[in-house]
Amino acid sequence: MNVTELIERKRDGHRLQSDEIATLITDFSADRVPDYQMAAMLMAIVWRGLDDGELAAWTEAMLHSGDVLDFSHVAAPKVDKHSTGGVGDKVSIPLAPMVAACGVAVPMMSGRGLGHTGGTLDKLESIPGFRTALDPKEFTRILERTGLVLAGQSETLVPADRRMYALRDVTGTVPSIPLIASSIMSKKLAEGLDALVLDVKVGSGAFMKSRESARDLAETMVGLGAAHGTRVQALITDMSQPLGAAVGNALEMVESLEVLRGGGPADLVEITLRLGIEMLVMGGVAADPAAARAMLQRTIADGSAFAKFEEVVVAQRGDPKVLHDPTRLPQAPEETVITAGRGGFVSRCDALDLGVAAVRLGAGRTTKEEAIDPGVGFTVCVKVGDEVAAGDPLIRIRWRRPERLAAAQPLVERAVVIADDPVAALPLILEEVR
């Protein structure tokens, strides 16, 4: 195959054939196509895009570049949820055991923090001993036993995506709807799911900054699911302010445990319920949204969701004592409180500023190899639309190192803006894409 000719054809806006795409991805995975040629192809795709047929073929080739999991022997419906990422987005932690307690198998593969957004794996690993690196046999064994796994992507699952993403990251080819959709969906389809629910975030703290781009991504991924024969639905949700109150790994774990005990911030609880409703209805264990909501709420009231989470923590060798005594989780020793300089109404609580500030505190990474501090972060005390008085706490910063506080505090202080006139609360869920 002449790769140069393929690059030129895509550069000039022509269509690639499915067999050409399959060979390109296979050869790239086998080191027969060098990085510089794939980088050129990726840039051509950024500029020219992929039509529906090309995108389905690209995703299918990525999907089959490594192992594809088979859970057909698991009788329960297999349903997962994926979020495109945000600040304070700890939904997966309470959601997965709630759904699993309703009889749905949840083989949830999550990621680490990326840029200013937090990662579910980092939050789970704030539990001492919790193992997120599982080989396919162990992953399957835990799913069979508990109906729930919370782990990272194995090395053998969609290896082409891992290599291609690293290349996109250094060649300016990350912001492409087809490439983003293919990266997400190839990994999710490799899980052997019956259905998938997507939480596509939009706003300052999301990768999709506009509602139009979020809708485009959601529709593209739903279409890819249909092309593969997998049911996919998406919610487009707000990420212009943090979700919940906690930002930071151990702090978000504490808040997740609060939800599993029947508490937690109202916005976090509602998003968790809405995504869970979609998972139960798509999995066929609830007849309609009202029945699904009642089932999910029952798992909180009767303690079965909390028990399911404890079961998977034990299965993945975490310390279950921290679930009953969250003070055992890592805690930064120092606290600084940012207060309102005047009375008024909160008109902004910027998720991007707070996400970047969390990284500066040590809650996230600036390089892939960097260790995180699970005990640092914020508690955000206000939401857009709240009325505050002078001196009211806006954000509580938990920190360990003074130089990191100095780097983060200016961003925290500017994140919250107070206006004179009343401000409407922000909607949580903007659209559904089916």
- Given 80, 89, 122, 161, the catalytic residue: 161
Amino acid at site 199: D
d(CA 157, CA 155): 6
Buried b / exposed e over 199-237, threshold 16 CB at 10 Å, is: bbbbbbbbbbeeeebbbbbbbbbbbbbebbebbbbbbbb
Q: Hey, what are 330's tokens? A: 């890592």
Active-site residue (options: 90, 187, 274, 398):
187
DSSP characters over 300-331: HHTSHHHHHHHHHHHHTT--THHHH-GGGS--
3-state class of 391 per DSSP?
A: coil
Using an 8 Å Cβ cutoff, are 141 and 324 in contact?
A: no
Does residue 168 have an active-site annotation? yes
- Rounded CA-CA distance 92/79 in Å is 13
Q: How far apart are CA 68 and CA 323, in angstroms?
A: 33
* β-bridge pairing 344-349 and 195-202: unpaired
Out of 82, 112, 308, 396, the active site residue is: 82
Q: Contact at 8 Å (CB) between 153 and 189?
A: no
* Residue among 181, 211, 222, 218 nearest 45 (CA): 181
Half-sphere exposure of 283 (CA within 13 A, CB side): 26
Place of tokens 């937690």: 264
By the 10 Å C-beta count (0-12 exposed, 13-18 middle, 19+ buried), 123 is classed as buried
183 is catalytic: yes
Our answer to whether residue 82 is catalytic in this structure is: yes
Kindly state the DSSP code that residue 424 receives in the 8-state scheme.
P
Measured CA to CA, the distance from residue 37 to residue 171 in angstroms comes to 12
Find all residues with CB under 8 Å of 291, minimum gap 6, and list them.
none
CB atoms within 10 A of CB 434: 10
Is residue 12 flagged as an active site residue? no
Catalytic residue among 110, 182, 183, 240: 183
Phi-psi region of 88 (alpha: psi -120 to 50; beta: other; left: phi over 0): left
- Intra-chain end-to-end CA distance of the chain, in Å: 38
Please give the distance of CA 427 from its chain centroid, rounded to a whole number.
20
Strand partners, 338: 395
Residues marked as catalytic: 82, 161, 168, 183, 187
